[in-house]
Copies of this chain bind each other. A is one copy, B any other.
Amino acid sequence: MAKSVEPLYERVAVEPLEQEEKTQGGIIIPDTVKDKPIRGTVVAVGCGYRSDDGKILPLMVKVGDLVTYAKWGGNEIELNGKKVVILKESDILAVMRD
Contacts and interface: CB of A to CB of B under 8 A. Distances in A.
A53 interface: yes
A34 interface: no
Contacts of A36: 75-78
A60 B8 contact: yes
Given A9-B90, A51-B54, A52-B52, 9 more contacts: A2-B98, A6-B95, A8-B95, A13-B94, A24-B80, A46-B94, A49-B54, A54-B55, A70-B75
23 contacts: A2-B97, A5-B95, A7-B93, A8-B61, A8-B89, A8-B94, A11-B94, A23-B78, A23-B81, A25-B81, A36-B76, A37-B86, A49-B54, A51-B52, A51-B53, A53-B57, A54-B55, A68-B75, A68-B77, A75-B93, A77-B94, A86-B93, A86-B94
